[in-house]
Chains A and B, each alone.
Chain A
Amino acid sequence: MIKFENVTKKYPNTKNSAVNNLNLEINEGEICMLVGPSGCGKTTTMKMVNRLIEPTSGNIYIDGENIMAHNPVDLRRNIGYVIQNIGLFPHMTIAENIATVPKEKKWDKERIDKRVDELLELMELNPEVYRNRRPSDLSGGQRQRVGVARALAADPPVMLMDEPFGALDPITRSKLQNEFLRLQEKIRKTIIFVTHDIDEAIKMGDKIVVVKNGKIVQQGTPDDILSNPADEFVENLIGGNRSIKRLNLVTCSEIMHDTFSVKMDTPLDAARTIMLENGLKTIALTGQNNKLIGYAELKDMEGKTGMSGDYKKEMEVTVDERMSLNDALSEMLRIGQRYIYVADERDNLRGWIGINDILNAVSIND
């Protein structure tokens, strides 16, 4: 999909090239993380794709076509662009901001309005509320959601993302990362994502490209990079706690167990039977559509009658099935529990994970 061929960028009056004879191929629908310290040439590499920076020599191809064959303005309209500082237009409403590229492409108004609402919903921003707001009315996380929506507006096949979540607080960052991964499953864009944060690279990337002094030091899947760092530089970049980082590679849905649950109105006897047969001390309570409501403990049910729901205890914490084991483990540590229930985005019960499952998942490969 995107191919760099012997690409070099040398700025005038500098001794070393910012990007030095770089060769790289990125497959369609893949998130390629360019990671490295600041000044390593990762941003320069990315900006050459939409010709914000022109290479000194070498060629870049998108879908087999040399990007230099296109007018830069046309080229850029087909490449989504998201930057750390977002750069929302302060004098325009959220809807106008998102409509930027469709307007440049001269879509008709109806189609633009429809697309804007669709994207706002995709970003979990209620169109009725946010359509006519200004960027200054929004929080940092909401602004970056709008930034992503704006980049997606004309449905470009390729996206360039320059530390898009870098300026957000850790909680918002993690939330937006998860949301973006979920989104990417639907939209399958080919993405070049620049970051200096190796954890982000491991979490987000299908492929990680480690860049140093304008050269690729190592490229591979997150697992490759974590298991076999090419040299000391990559090892230092990853840091000492490789196993803990591997927690970011596995999502809860990959290792969770099926769980037993009963409806709120299941008679207590039935619930107790299930628990005794399976040796359970607790059981999840669900409402309609398998929606998780709470749980009940066997010790509360001893010698009682009625509905299971009568002995409901509030579920304090669940994890989303798409969250990483790192998130699950930290929740378990926080509440001091050896297991945690897993739910999907609509709070439907999906399964559970025990602390031993996490240990097993991380230590398999070593």
Chain B
Amino acid sequence: MTDSGNVKKRKPVIKAVLIPLVLIFIGLSYTFYVINYPQDKIVADFVSYSKVFSLLKQHIVLVLVSATAAVLVSVPLGIFLTRPKFKGLANIFISIVNMGQTIPSLAILALFVSVLGIGFKSAVFALWIYSLLPILNNTLVGITGVDRYVMEAATGMGMNPVRILTKIELPIAFPVIMAGIRTAATVNIGTATLAAFIGAGGLGDLIIAGNNINRWQIVILGALLSALLAILADYLMALFEKA
């Protein structure tokens, strides 16, 4: 009867560590397989541990920088737009960012190349634009979704607007905002493979190169690692959300 809340938390610790380990193990095994049992000489020359890891690192940096920047912009913007004074602006912003979302990701990448040039900067900028909407949208939905009677009670009891934001609105909206960040990050990890097209590197290099030289082992290596990365990222964020 008592304190059922405390008992639930303990068990998943093993699971929490196990799943990431399994994901890393799958990734390493396949990399090991491609390097040690290559299809042919071309694959053997192309792939090495250091190459795969530097591409993986590039990929992670691309995603981390763009997603973090998107969080830093979208969440405060979402908070700002849900303040009573600015309520009308929210829909306008959603439409603008929505329009950004309708442009194909490859086109966005290409567009920014003409402004920022080839490489890392353009890729990060494009991925950032792409991540803004899900986070902004979920921040708005999460905060406006707080029960209006909860808000009325909080106001009526004499909480000031800042306290209402930090103690009521954000904690209640947190799971929804996190869902937006998770969506953005996982989509971002997939989209980041396209960064290879504009010379920003990342796991997309493996997919494009593998495709160009027609070696399935390499294509699958790039695709598998980016998929595993997406699952891992989503899983870790879910863990963070519950903690």
Q: Which residues of A contact B (CB under 8 A)?
A: 50, 52, 72-79, 81, 83, 85-91, 100-101, 104, 128-129, 132, 134, 147, 150-151, 160
Q: Which residue of chain A is the closest to B156 with respect to CB atoms?
A: A81
Asked if B153 and A77 sit within 8 Å, CB to CB, the answer is no
Asked if A86 and B163 sit within 8 Å, CB to CB, the answer is no
Asked if A83 and B156 sit within 8 Å, CB to CB, the answer is yes
CA distance A100 to B167 in the complex (A): 10
- Chain B hits for A83, CB < 8 A: 149, 152-153, 156
CA distance A151 to B168 in the complex (A): 17
CB 8 Å contact bits of B93-111 with A (1 = contact, 0 = none): 0000000000000000000
Min distance, Cβ A340 to any Cβ of chain B, angstroms: 35
CB 8 Å contact bits of B147-161 with A (1 = contact, 0 = none): 101111111111110
Asked if B152 and A104 sit within 8 Å, CB to CB, the answer is no
- Chain B hits for A78, CB < 8 A: 158
Asked if A87 and B5 sit within 8 Å, CB to CB, the answer is no
Asked if A151 and B157 sit within 8 Å, CB to CB, the answer is yes
Min distance, Cβ B84 to any Cβ of chain A, angstroms: 13
Q: Which residue of chain A is the closest to B173 with respect to CB atoms?
A: A91
Given contacts A89-B168, A132-B5, contact A52 B163 (CB under 8 A): no
Asked if A104 and B172 sit within 8 Å, CB to CB, the answer is no
Asked if A76 and B158 sit within 8 Å, CB to CB, the answer is yes
Asked if B1 and A73 sit within 8 Å, CB to CB, the answer is no
Q: Which residue of chain B is the closest to A90 with respect to CB atoms?
A: B172
Asked if B149 and A87 sit within 8 Å, CB to CB, the answer is yes
CA distance A163 to B106 in the complex (A): 57
Residue B171 CB within 8 A of the other chain = yes
Q: Which residue of chain B is the closest to A72 with respect to CB atoms?
A: B158
The residue that A104 contacts in the complex, of B150, B153, B157, with Cβ under 8 A, is: B157
CA distance A73 to B3 in the complex (A): 34
The residue that A73 contacts in the complex, of B149, B160, B171, B172, with Cβ under 8 A, is: B160
Residue B2 CB within 8 A of the other chain = yes
- Chain A hits for B156, CB < 8 A: 50, 52, 76, 81, 83, 160
Asked if A150 and B5 sit within 8 Å, CB to CB, the answer is no
Asked if A128 and B155 sit within 8 Å, CB to CB, the answer is no
- Chain A hits for B147, CB < 8 A: 85, 87, 90
Q: Which residue of chain A is the closest to B3 with respect to CB atoms?
A: A132
Q: Which of B152-194 contact A (CB under 8 A)?
A: 152-160, 163, 168, 171-172
Given contacts A104-B163, A128-B2, A129-B2, contact A74 B150 (CB under 8 A): no
The residue that B153 contacts in the complex, of A75, A86, A91, A134, with Cβ under 8 A, is: A86
- Chain A hits for B157, CB < 8 A: 76-77, 81, 100-101, 104, 150-151
CA distance A129 to B156 in the complex (A): 28
Asked if B159 and A104 sit within 8 Å, CB to CB, the answer is yes
- Chain A hits for B158, CB < 8 A: 72-79, 101, 104
Q: Which residue of chain B is the closest to A77 with respect to CB atoms?
A: B158
CA distance A74 to B157 in the complex (A): 9
CA distance A73 to B2 in the complex (A): 36
CA distance A260 to B168 in the complex (A): 57
CA distance A330 to B240 in the complex (A): 57
Q: Which residue of chain B is the closest to A47 with respect to CB atoms?
A: B156
Min distance, Cβ A119 to any Cβ of chain B, angstroms: 14
Q: Which residue of chain A is the closest to B151 with respect to CB atoms?
A: A87
CA distance A93 to B3 in the complex (A): 11
The residue that B152 contacts in the complex, of A77, A79, A87, with Cβ under 8 A, is: A87
Min distance, Cβ A266 to any Cβ of chain B, angstroms: 41
Q: Which residue of chain A is the closest to B5 with respect to CB atoms?
A: A132
CA distance A160 to B151 in the complex (A): 16
The residue that A89 contacts in the complex, of B1, B3, B154, with Cβ under 8 A, is: B154
Min distance, Cβ A302 to any Cβ of chain B, angstroms: 49
Given contacts A100-B157, A101-B157, contact A85 B2 (CB under 8 A): no
- Chain B hits for A50, CB < 8 A: 156
CA distance A260 to B88 in the complex (A): 73
Q: Which residue of chain A is the closest to B175 with respect to CB atoms?
A: A91
Q: Which residue of chain B is the closest to A135 with respect to CB atoms?
A: B150
CA distance A74 to B158 in the complex (A): 6
- Chain A hits for B153, CB < 8 A: 81, 83, 86-89, 147, 150
Most buried by B among A73, A78, A128, A129: A73
Min distance, Cβ B69 to any Cβ of chain A, angstroms: 28
The 8 closest A-B pairs by CB, nearest first: A87-B153, A76-B158, A77-B158, A85-B149, A81-B156, A87-B149, A87-B150, A91-B171
Most buried by A among B149, B152, B157, B172: B157
Min distance, Cβ A45 to any Cβ of chain B, angstroms: 15
Q: Which residue of chain B is the closest to A76 with respect to CB atoms?
A: B158
CA distance A86 to B157 in the complex (A): 12
6 contacts between A and B (CB under 8 A): A75-B158, A76-B155, A87-B150, A87-B154, A91-B171, A134-B5
Q: Which residue of chain A is the closest to B174 with respect to CB atoms?
A: A91
CA distance A76 to B154 in the complex (A): 10
Min distance, Cβ B161 to any Cβ of chain A, angstroms: 9
